Amino acid sequence: MFHPTVFDNIKIAFENQIYDYDNLDGILVVTDRSDLLNMALMSREFSLSFQLATGRNVTAEVFLTSSVKDLSDEILEVPNTDPGCNLSLRFYMEVEDISTECQAIESILKAIWGPEFQPVQSLSFIYGQDGETYNNCIELRFKRQITEEQMEDIPNLLNHLLQSAEELESFSI
């Protein structure tokens, strides 16, 4: 019989809560879902993206990864290991005034998540496209692995994620 890994259990916990926010509470709309197994690296990747039901300027994403080492440590029950997965949260939005808006985005996220989270903002644009807007991918990376022991923290983490999306949405108007 198949025994789910830590990655599977954490993925399901995020899915359940986010889909409840979509289907039951109506506070967000799931816009994309990806669940990948990289056969070359034997790694796993999961992402779930959504937008707030009240806005369409910001897309938020939960992004989980697990390496072959993480999976093998767990499956082989390697002593002195604590199997888990890596978690990143991403926000996608457009900005016009890079220096002003990126600084404001950083301030908003640090106020919510604390100074230990340094948002990484990656800007891009399409060459030849009319307009003065840039696509901003803002990423918050968790420095340590997430294990099943942190599963009870998922609702609080998602509340912070929703608050971040709301404040970024308000800022982008």
Residue 1 in domain: no
- The pTM of this model reads 0.92
Tally DSSP H helices, then E strands, for the chain. Answer: 4, 6
Among 56, 78, 57, 63, CA closest to 18 = 63
CB–CB of 44/66 below 8 Å? yes
Domain count, the chain: 1
In a domain, 139, yes or no: yes
Q: Region 109-126: what's the mean pLDDT?
A: 94
Rounded CA separation 44/135 (Å): 27
pLDDT in tens, 20-73: 999 999 999 999 999 999 999 889 999 999 999 998 899 999 999 999 999 888
Domain, as residue range, for 76: 6-172
Q: What are phi and psi of 115, to 5 degrees?
A: -70, -15
| 35, part of any domain | yes
Q: Is it the case that residue 128 has pLDDT exceeding 90?
A: no
Looking at the domain assignment, is residue 33 inside a domain? Answer: yes
Spatial contact of 36 and 45, defined as CB atoms under 8 Å apart: yes
pLDDT higher than 50, residue 86: yes
Q: Indicate whether 173 pLDDT > 70.
A: no
Token pair 């070359």 is found at: 40
Task: Place 1 in a pLDDT band, splitting at 50, 70 and 90.
Answer: very low
Least confident segment among 17-21, 41-45, 100-104:
41-45
Highest mean pLDDT among 150-154, 162-166, 167-171 belongs to: 162-166
